[in-house]
Chain A
Amino acid sequence: MIKFIKGKGGNFLSFKVALLGNPNTGKTTLFNVLTGLNQHTGNWAGKTVLKSVGSYVYEGQKYEVIDLPGTYSVVSSSAEEEVARNYLCFANPEVVVVVVDATNLERNLNLVLQLLEIKSNIIVCVNLLDEAERKKIKIRLDLLEEELGVPVVGISARKKEGISNLLEDISNVAKGEVKTNPYLVKYNLEIEEKIKLLEGRLKAFIPPMINNRWLALRLLEGDEEVIFSLEESLNKNINKEVLS
């Protein structure tokens, strides 16, 4: 039994850490490494998609880890993607760890870019580094970190390598000790103007934890699911107020 020591942030509350990533990137392997036996499977808000929750203690602070379903995207709407997206937007985890496959970085970075549009408290965790090495793939983690503007950490979950670096990064981001500057995709002038316009209107009544730029983009896409989820959580009709 690990005793609780008052953390640096001065509270006994646990930080929420969400694990996200494409299918087969070793998310669940990492989840098991982080939480050991302290986990249980839960059912998420009326959906049949399961998510696992576990916890660990690092430097006296408790962290609750949520293993979200593997997805290629968080904007097209399969049940898994909706679970992942709604968790990010409405449960507001302190840290989001995106697990990417070092042997197939290009495919995985699509999800990373989408997530950077939603959240800034992101860590990109490049997994399967051992396998990449075997395939003679070399990844410049420092350059990737510079380009993406968020911490990038290389690990091999199966061999339990790099885990201490990851734990340190999670702790730093959770406590706000690292300033991130996420890379945002720039759209063409017309879209950017519309984004600005919508952002201005959204500011008035959207809680600050939700990213208005991202929401504006979804509204421009006519994403009905996100509008519905948001209306449900705010109890207001957005279409009338914003899109008129």
Chain B
Amino acid sequence: MENELKKMTLYDLPIGYKAKVYANESKGEKRRRMLDIGLVQGTWVECLRISPIGEPKAFKIRGAIIALRNEDAGEIIVDSISE
């Protein structure tokens, strides 16, 4: 089930769901870092698993599995959420 319009942050994306990056709201050096790991507009991201203590979360981003802190994942806005 795809929902083109609904937006959420990457932090809210449940395990097993995929979504497309809509915007990257981080600033400065962190923004550059997020872009470098592949979080540019239009990139598909899948939430793979969550640490027992709630963070970090592991995401599949352009062929690599990358763990993000909730604080950082919260700055990435995604849409086209699907299972």
Contacts and interface: CB of A to CB of B under 8 A. Distances in A.
A107 interface: yes
B36 A110 contact: yes
Prevailing SS type, chain B contact patch: mixed
A106 to B, nearest CB: 6
A78 B32 CA distance: 11
Nearest to B34: A76
A72 B36 contact: yes
A24 to B, nearest CB: 8
Contacts of A72: 36-37
A110 B39 CA distance: 12
Interface residues of B, number: 9
A75 B36 contact: yes
A135 B33 CA distance: 29
Interface in A54-87: 72-73, 75-78
Contacts of A76: 29, 32-33, 36
B63 A107 contact: yes
Given A73-B36, A75-B36, A104 B29 contact: no
Interface string A167-205: 000000000000000000000000000000000000000
B64 interface: yes
B38 interface: yes
B29 A107 contact: no
A106 B38 CA distance: 10
Contact of A77 (B29, B37, B64): B29
A27 B32 CA distance: 24
Nearest to B32: A76
A72 B32 CA distance: 11
A107 B64 contact: yes
A20 B76 CA distance: 29
A187 B62 CA distance: 24
Contacts of A73: 32-33, 36
A132 to B, nearest CB: 12
Interface of A: 72-73, 75-78, 103-104, 106-107, 110, 221
25 contacts: A72-B36, A72-B37, A73-B32, A73-B33, A73-B36, A75-B32, A75-B36, A76-B29, A76-B33, A76-B36, A77-B29, A78-B33, A103-B63, A104-B62, A104-B63, A104-B64, A106-B62, A106-B63, A107-B38, A107-B62, A107-B63, A107-B64, A110-B36, A110-B38, A221-B32
